[in-house]
Structure 1
Amino acid sequence: MYLKTIQLRQFRNYQEQRVDFSAPKTILVGNNAQGKSNLLEAVELLATLRSHRNSRDRDLIKESELVGQITATVERQNGVSDLSITLRRNGRRSVALNSETLRRQLDFLGVLNAVEFSSLDLDLVRGGPEQRRHWLDTLLIQLEPIYAYILQQYNQVLRQRNAFLKRNLESASKNEAQELALWNVQLATTGSRVARRRSRAVERLAPIAQAWHSSISGSTEILEMKYAPNVPLEQNEPEQVQQAFLAKLETREVAEQHQGTTLVGPHRDEIELTINQTPARSYGSQGQQRTLVLALKLAELKLIEEVVGEAPLLLLDDVLAELDLNRQNQLLDAIQDRFQTLITTTHLGSFDSQWLKSSQILSVQAGRIFSPE
């Protein structure tokens, strides 16, 4: 797949900006806080309808404007598509495909695929389980767009069940017990769908990440990646997982009613990352943690390519400066011309002459993008 053009209107610090991509690799060069990351964020929104910055829509719209918009043209093996996201400060966003507004945002997903790698991704290793769940969920949305709806359903049931628990702290009338039983069934049904899909994704991702990690580390370190669900998945049949879910809810019922919150479900899952049998977050140097994140990102690229049948875009947000020369070379060698790549940087020193020759180089300054003289 190839992103041919993108246009930003009142998005972040851009008033009106169009970019036409003319090479497999585009290097966006400029000082910090000029808008380089904002362009990559716009591409990420087109691919996943999410931002890794976890921003609210109103934060994405240029200050003092009411509406922002991202439009793009994407070329794939099966033809060319026009994508559009309209963001509203005081309302719901809308999406359009080939000029037709879509009733379900789910139908927008899967037209463009992209993997973003930024300095924030170090939190995949160092941060809490929530960061790893968010990362896996974003990947799953691209592998299987229906997952966005499944996750939304689960989160809605979870919110409603939590509201019920808060309202009925430590009370146990007959009616309330019956209502709780209904919420339990809904939570188990939607939660088991989330957990089973996450488990399958990690199963496919782990060996690819392990191979990349071995290659980058020179086979000196062994990466293990495991899904650690809050509800056991020994039996992976939907009905059995739901029964295990309900059984665990029963054991935590008193604690949940006392605390007024749901203690069972995939919102408490973990993706365990270990290097040489030691938890990655406490293992080795920052450089070794960067190696792990790099391996995970390269594995994401390969898995999306396998499942979708086309190479996704790669978005590199100022990460080359954070990698040593060996890891930089590993990454740049892996990319070659296989993935359309957008790279942000403050200087061009990390690239050899061959890379610079085969790349489109654009300057970014105060929300303006232009070709340098």
Structure 2
Amino acid sequence: MYLKTLHLRQFRNYQEQKIEFTAAKTILVGNNAQGKSNLLEAVELLATLRSHRMARDRDLIKEGESVSQIQATLERQTGISDLTLTLRRNGRRSVALNGESMRRQMDFLGVLNAVQFSSLDLDLVRGGPDGRRNWLDTLLIQLEPIYAHILQQYNQVLRQRNAFLKQAQDAASSPKNLEQLALWDAQLAATGTKVIRRRDRAIQRLAPIAAAWHANISGSTEVLQIQYVPSVPLTQNQPEEVQLAFLTKIQQRAVAEMYRGTTLVGPHRDEVELTINQTPARQYGSQGQQRTLVLALKLAELQLIEEVVKEPPLLLLDDVLAELDPSRQNQLLDAIQDRFQTLITTTHISSFDSQWLNSSQVLLVNAGKLSS
């Protein structure tokens, strides 16, 4: 797939900016806080309808404006698609494909595929489990767009169940409350089972690819293992069994949940375990080794998406080359070649060799304006 044009209106610090991409690699050069990352974020939003910077829609709209729009023209083997995402400060976002409004945002997903790799991703190893869950969910949305709807359903049930638990704290054991809680339990287990099974399946597919990349980058001196560890025992990935295990675990924690007024069991508390040579990665070795792991994860994401959608996704590299030593930089750049259309942000163009520069489109970014 190839992103031909990107048009930003009142998005972040861009008033109006149209970009035509003329090479497989585009290098965006500029000082910090000029809008380089914002441009990559716009592409990421078109791919996943999420921002890894976790901004609310109103934070994505240029100050003083009420509406923002991202438009793109994308070429795929199946033909050319025009994508439009409209963000509103006081209302719901809307999406359109080839000029036609789409009632379900889920139908917009899967048209453009992209893998984002930023310096924030280094927290995948060092940070808490919520960052790893969010990373896995974003990957799953691209592998299986219906997952966005499944996750939304689960989060909605979770919010309502938590609200009920808080409100029922004072009269926890009344028969009426226990009856109502049983209804929430059933809904949580039904929606949560769908999330757990899909996450487990995705990790089963990703883990061997990431392990192979990691062995390649580390010179086979280290063994990477990735495991999905749900808060519900997962002996077999069969829906009835997972759902039964889920309900059993909820009932075991019922008293603690009522006491604390919050849901203690479910995919919102799951972990993705990363281990190197059987040691938890966050406790293992240097920053360099942790960076090797994240690089292996990102290359595995690219490969898995390509296998599933049958086309190479876009790669968005946000100020990440500066974080990698020359050896890891070369591993990454060699893996990309011209196989993936790549958008790269950097503050210094000197970090690229002349061969790369000659085959790249170079754009200067200054205060939300682009020049070549």
Q: Which runs of 4+ in 1 moved over 3 A?
A: none
Q: Percent of pairs identical after alignment? A: 77
- Amino acid in the other structure paired with 1:41: E
TM-score calculated relative to the size of structure 1: 0.99
The reply on whether 1:267 has 2:268 as its aligned counterpart is: yes
1:253-278 C-alpha deviation (Å, 9 max, x unpaired)? 00000000000000000000011111
Does residue 328 of structure 2 align to residue 327 of structure 1? Answer: yes
Aligned residues: 371
Q: CA deviation at 1:14?
A: 0.2
Alignment of 1:134-283 (within 5 A): 134-170=134-170, 171-283=172-284
Please tell me whether residue 304 in structure 1 is matched to residue 305 in structure 2. Answer: yes
- In structure 2, C-alpha distance between the alignment counterparts of 1:217 and 1:122, rounded to whole Å: 17
Deviations 1:273-323 (A, max 9, x none): 011111111111111111110000000000000000000000000110110
Q: Name the SS for the 1:152 alignment partner.
A: helix
Corresponding residue of 1:51: 51
CA apart distance, 1:74: 0.4
Amino acid at match of 1:49: L
In 1, Cα distance between equivalents of 2:289 and 2:351: 20
Counterpart residue number, 1:336 = 337
- Does the residue aligned with 1:90 lie in a helix, a strand or coil? coil
SS at match of 1:349: helix
**2:25 counterpart residue number:** 25
Cα distance, 1:84 vs. partner?
0.4
- Look up the match of 2:36: 36
Between the aligned partners of 1:38 and 1:330, the Cα distance in structure 2 is 26
Structure-1 residue corresponding to 2:13: 13
Deviation, 1:174, is: 1.1
1:73-111 C-alpha deviation (Å, 9 max, x unpaired): 000000000000111111111111111111100000000
Name the counterpart of 2:314: 313
Rounded to whole Å, the distance in 2 between the matches of 1:16 and 1:108 is: 23
- Between 171-180 and 324-333, the greater mean CA deviation after superposition: 171-180
Equivalent residue number for residue 104 of structure 1: 104
Which letter maps to 1:213?
Answer: H
Aligned to 2:368: 367
Q: Aligned with 2:362: secondary structure?
A: strand
> What secondary structure does 1:72 align onto?
strand
Other-structure match for 1:91:
91
Q: Which runs of 5+ in 2 are unaligned?
A: none
Cα deviations by residue, 1:306-354 (Å, 9 ceiling, x for unpaired): 0000000000001101100000000000000000000000111221111
The separation in 2 between residues aligned to 1:324 and 1:169, in whole angstroms, is 53
For residues 292 and 215 of structure 1, the distance between their equivalents in structure 2, rounded to whole angstroms, comes to 11
Deviations 1:110-140, CA, capped at 9 Å, x for gaps? 0000000000001100000000000000000
Listed one character per residue, the Cα deviations across residues 5-62 of structure 1 (whole Å, up to 9, x for unaligned) are 0000000000000000000000001111100000000000000000000000000000
Per the TM alignment, residue 236 of structure 1 is displaced from its structure 2 partner at its CA by 1.4
Whichever residue aligns with residue 202 of structure 2, its letter is A
Give the partner amino acid of 2:345: T
Partners in 2 of 1:369 and 1:134 — Cα distance?
A: 31
Amino acid at match of 2:142: Q
Structure-2 separation of matches of 1:347 and 1:355: 14
- What secondary structure, in the 3-state scheme, does the structure 2 residue paired with 1:264 have? coil
Residue 169 of structure 1: SS of its match in structure 2?
A: coil
Structure 1 CA distance for aligned equivalents of residues 305 and 233 of structure 2: 27
Aligned-partner Cα distance in 2 for 1:91–1:368: 28
Structure 1: distance between partners of 2:225 and 2:236: 22
The one-letter code of the counterpart of 1:148 is: A
Q: Quote the offset at 1:230 in angstroms.
A: 0.6
Q: What is the CA-CA distance between 1:235 and the residue it aligns to?
A: 2.1
- What CA distance in whole angstroms lies between the structure 1 residues aligned with 2:103 and 2:117? 31
**Which residue of structure 2 lines up, in the alignment, with residue 351 of structure 1?**
352
Alignment-mate amino acid for residue 11 of structure 1: F
Q: Which structure 1 segments of 5+ residues have no match?
A: none
2:188 aligns to what SS in structure 1?
A: helix
In 1, Cα distance between the equivalents of 2:205 and 2:8? 36
Q: Deviations over 1:138-186 (max 9, x none)?
A: 0000000000000000000000000000000052111111110010000
Paired residue type of 2:75:
E
Q: Secondary structure at the match of 1:5?
A: strand
Cα distance in 2 between the residues matched to 1:262 and 1:172: 16
